[in-house]
Amino acid sequence: MKEITLKIIDPIGIHARPAQLLTAAASKYKSESKIIANGLEANLKSIMNIMTLGVKSGDEVTLKVSGEDEEQAFEELVGVFKANGLSA
């Protein structure tokens, strides 16, 4: 299992557009991908799960990826967070 904690810097937090990008990236892989924020956990393959977390700017989220292709999935998901201004 790979895990990282990221601080959200997007002024709006995780809204529909970045949630869709995260879902698209996670769905490419067989590994289980989860995000944990505010004491809640969401499946990154479900945009609705992500949106229910209500992640705001300044919140910390933990990304957890486990499975047969976890290394590739983890690297791509961290890249989505950073390339789209969600985290530094």
Which residues carry out catalysis? 15
Q: Which residues pair with 16 in a beta bridge?
A: none
Residue pair 83/77 in contact by the 8 Å Cβ criterion: no
Instruction: Give the separation between CA 53 and CA 15, rounded to whole angstroms.
Output: 10
Residue pair 30/67 in contact by the 8 Å Cβ criterion: yes
Residue pair 86/55 in contact by the 8 Å Cβ criterion: no
